[in-house]
Amino acid sequence: MKASGPWWTSLTGFFVLNLILVWLKTYLNYFANFSLGASGPVQLFLLALNPIPTAIILLGIALYFRGRLAYFLVWLFNLIQTLWLFSNMLYYREFSDFLSFGILGSGSSTGNNLGKSIVAIIRPTDFLVYVDLIVLAVCLLFKFWPIDKKGLAKRYAFLTTCLGVALMFVDFGIASVDRSGLLTRSFDNNYIVKYLGLNEYAAFNAFQTKKQSDSRKEATAKDLKTVQNFINENNIPANTSYYGSQKGKNVFVIHLESFQQFLIDYKVDGQEVTPNLNAFYHDQNTLSFDNFYNQVGQGKTSDAEMMQENSLYGLSTGSAMTKYGSSNTFEAMPGILGQQGYTSAAFHGDVSTFWNRNNTYKSFGYNYFFSKNYYPNSDKANYSVGYGLKDKIFLKDTAQYIEQLPQPFYAKLITVTNHYPYTLDKENTDFPATQTGDSTVDGYVQTAHYLDEAFGELMAYLKKTGLYDNSTFVLYGDHYGISENHQPAIAKLLGKDSVNNYDLANFQKVPFMIHGTGLQGGINHTYGGEIDMMPTLLHLLGVSTDGLTIFGHDLLSQQNPQTVVFRNGDWVTPTFTKYRTEYYDTKTGQKLSMASNPALKATAKRVQAYADKSLSYSDKVITGDLLRFDKNRLNAYTVDKSSYDYQKASALKSLKQNQKSNPTSLLARNNYQTTTGDYQTSAPELK
């Protein structure tokens, strides 16, 4: 029925105006805040088209109503889409990925710290996406906008919905031609948004999340057999020269937060950023890998831990530790080494619930988990920064627990100071910032330098007490510190005018070092990633990985395939590098065309098939909890989660009892005289 007044005052006009506004701010932000890599007329057309279908469908819901309610619903669905856009703008700016329901669902497990990081990167211009909503709300509330009380005939509302659905199919049809297997083979969320849109990505992610939750019900022992056949086909032998060379030694796993490979030997104003780590990296007893990559997904640190402890990839969406850490069966390092007589302990200067560690570590088989409430300084003002206790304070306070651990032990120390937003108080800042002009980046070397000083203090203590010579040290960077969204700053850090996708792929390198007396040290150029840490370390300790459901390979094996698979489906080999839709010569960085390079085409087909299967099968192991079907392994490495109690009083009581029954700890061997006085720190807070 025809409305009175100009057409734009009708409900149809209000609907069209909001549709244009939603499309415009989404489309503009595709270019301003996201790196979708759209190229060519087809992809650029889809980028312009894909915000429209779901906007029509969502805004069109209001057309089934009349009067003021209909106008309010149009405004409300504009607001919902804007909130989703705004949230992704902030998240993508730091993490180069889009929000998922898995990440949203894990919010409680990361405490308030993720929120602090997001708040730190908000720009005043971000709020421009809300300007239209404010103006429209004022117009409706103060009746500046006339209300068409007659509304729209239901058949026209239905036709509008049909139009949105039809455009969605058009979008998907064109996208499927340009990118075959978009929803079945792609692990990269950028592809989904580029081709289908931000709202469609949300719907697809919801489907993925639901599919993950259903996987356990549908999983069978046959699924595990399929996975194990794949693993057996790609199994490689250990290097006999190294196998068992570190058998029986204590193991320190030192988690270098947000630490990237380029920091090694990097200088600012002629000063080394990390002199202690540099010396450790070049030590004759340290195996250092310079082609080692982080392979994390949305779970970031928790993904790195999943790979380090289990040689399983993080999930395509969300955090595996948060979603499955409490319930799943794992074949993790602490549980496996527990069968070898090791005591295991994890140390973290923040709340135990961060990334669901308090539950996941029980599933992994950790005997002890020393978290924030074990550290008397954790609640003192200015003793913490961002994600927990400052590293110097954390490591010094950790010494009192290390000396009590029965040997041999497996100890993981999680540092946190070198975490975004890379800020320190003046008392702890004794190193010059870089001058890239990017405030997010310039403090990075300062917190890295602080971490390096804390590491040096820990090593000095371990040498004084004698633990150093009887221990194997594993150091690794968990993920990038500076995301690819800071390309101008990255270029300045690397001494380049600009960076391309090849540079960004190499920027994902993180340090991996293994130090132990008698190791044939040196710089190892083998290509690998975090998925390879577990089998490499187990073989050094003389523990076989035969029969384990793991996706990594021993980096010291002479038959290592040197294929690095990233969570988004990209990969690196010593010959070729794939970064989204582009291919490069790994050695030279030259961009390659598959059409004119038969060798690349053959390699790409083979490696991509391997990458897709690795990621897919690893996902099935986690989401289907497939290891519960592995009776052979369960008999050998059963983890009784109920036997672990991380409450402070009971854990410390247990630790004392273990020292008496197994008097092999540093404290026991020192006639129960504490060694913490040997720990010297420059932390101004403790002076």
Structure-token pair, residue 563? 């294929």
Q: Are 298 and 102 in contact (CB under 8 A)?
A: yes
Q: Please list, in sequence order, all residues whose beta carbon lies within 8 angstroms of the beta carbon of residue 296, skipping any fewer than 6 positions away.
A: 303, 304, 307, 314, 478, 479, 530, 567
Rounded (10°) angle between helices 131-141 and 11-32: 160
The verdict on whether omega for the bond into residue 408 sits within 30 degrees of 0, i.e. cis, is yes
Q: How far apart are the first and last CA of the chain?
A: 80
Report the residue count for the chain.
687
Integer angstrom CA distances of residue 10 from 6, 56, 149, 183: 7, 17, 9, 39
- Residue 467, SS3 per DSSP: coil
Alpha-carbon distance of 104 to 91, in angstroms, equals 11
User: What are the start-end ranges of the H helices in 33-153?
Assistant: 40-49, 51-60, 67-95, 101-105, 113-120, 131-141
- CA dihedral for 343, 252, 322, 632, sign (positive or negative): negative
Q: What is the DSSP string of 468-534?
A: GGGEEEEEEE-S-SS-GGGHHHHHHHTT-S---HHHHHHTTB--EEEE-TT---EEEEEEEEGGGHH
Q: Are 318 and 299 in contact (CB under 8 A)?
A: yes
> What is the Cα Rg of the chain in Å?
27
Structure-token pair, residue 398? 């950790």
CB atoms within 10 A of CB 344: 25
Alpha-carbon distance of 555 to 241, in angstroms, equals 13
Which residues are the active-site residues? 301
Q: Where are the beta strands (DSSP E) in 183-268?
A: 250-256, 267-268
Alpha-carbon distance of 218 to 624, in angstroms, equals 7
